[in-house]
Chain A
């Protein structure tokens, strides 16, 4: 047993500090940021808007398009070269799949809802932060959604199960490590993003999914609060 205490002194089931805000990009139809520790995601939603080329259109409903991008100075090492990498394309895809279950775009045939996610700084967990920000931005854009989507990475370092791994933990050497980003629809407990890198037992996976669901409920409360904070003035009578 090597990993007795987390590098930054957090509890094993404790996330880093979270901050969320809605309506941060005035030009966008919906926007939000979600900050977890040193990972900071901005999301802007544009749409529904017209979609070209035409062959991309779906005559039955609108489509969702997500784009994940790290700003060139947002990596912990050298400059990240701009332009889509294979990694960012894959993350864009799984982000789309994580969000689509809550959205109803039937009212918008042939159109597109674009979500752009950008990071000024990252320290692991960026795809999950991006999904959290994007789901708030979609709600802010007034789209029909039956739930929000909350996401967090869970995993293991050595024999410890933990939430919200930071970069140092992901890269921990000499002991088994696993990193599992999970997105949850908090009101049905269904899972819409699941990836895993590392080594883990079936039993541990089961426990970790429960841990992810529990944490995502807390994140949902933070998202809820941030959304209400923007619109609460509507209530004052």
Chain B
């Protein structure tokens, strides 16, 4: 007889038996071991019909094609820029992907992006060897002047951004800060000092409480209490930048 041994949103640890029998299917983050389905890591159980999968709660960012990330220029080469990505792999930004300007041979590339500069860029290629290419061509992709960058758990990024950017849009409205959340867990922020601190505090709160339902409502009333003003919920005006 088949038996499901966990509930939706349970925490599973490596090797833990999630189900017995052949009725359930092992999804991502799980594996079949004879009659059993086991967890192949630490994560949150998600049951979708007959499939059981595990959602990661921790761990470093792995570069993925199509992700918009915040990167930092760590080196300048003959053909472009090497970008730190808050992961085990750095990315290359080639001259042709950096700008539509004509760059003469031997030109000083620091005029475009200098060492230590932060950029919002998009991952356009990842090879099996994890060679990563990024591009600056696309709406909102650019170099970041001023501000600061801090890290958040990369697995909480979707919650911080919210549906169609509703969560981050609300924080921006409440604090008048400019904020960009990279899929790689780096967040860039610039604003008035006290507002900036409030925005960071709010983002850390979302990170801590990302599991709670009705989180948007809670964050809204938190921001209203802190700022003493009515917060408009932001809808559909956020493209990830």
3 closest pairs, A vs B, by CB?
A142-B59, A147-B15, A142-B58
B50-73 interface (Cβ within 8 A of A): 56-60, 62
A148 CB within 8 Å of chain B: yes
Bound CA span A188–B41, Å: 16
Q: Pick the contact of A50: B56, B90, B155, B213 (CB < 8 A).
A: B90
Contact A104 B40 (CB under 8 A): yes
Interface set of A (CB-CB < 8 Å, partner B): 29-30, 47-50, 59, 62, 102, 104, 107-111, 139-148, 185-188, 220, 223-224, 227-228, 231-237
- Smallest CB-CB separation from A227: which chain B residue? B13
Q: Known contacts being A109-B129, A142-B60, is A232 close to B31, with CB within 8 Å?
A: no
Bound CA span A186–B15, Å: 8
Interface set of B (CB-CB < 8 Å, partner A): 9-11, 13-17, 31, 33, 38, 40-44, 56-60, 62, 87-90, 128-130, 155, 210-213
- Smallest CB-CB separation from B36: which chain A residue? A187
Contact A235 B62 (CB under 8 A): no
Q: Known contacts being A108-B88, A111-B89, A236-B212, is A231 close to B41, with CB within 8 Å?
A: no
Q: Known contacts being A59-B129, A141-B59, is A49 close to B14, with CB within 8 Å?
A: no
Bound CA span A141–B15, Å: 15
Contact A228 B11 (CB under 8 A): yes
Chain A residues near B57 (CB, 8 Å)?
142, 231, 234
Q: Known contacts being A48-B60, A109-B128, A227-B42, is A146 close to B88, with CB within 8 Å?
A: no
Closest-CB distance, A144 to chain B (whole angstroms): 5
Contact B40 A50 (CB under 8 A): no
Closest-CB distance, A6 to chain B (whole angstroms): 31
Chain B residues near A236 (CB, 8 Å)?
211-212
Q: Pick the contact of A145: B41, B44, B89 (CB < 8 A).
A: B41
Bound CA span A109–B130, Å: 7
Bound CA span A235–B55, Å: 12
Chain B residues near A108 (CB, 8 Å)?
62, 88, 130
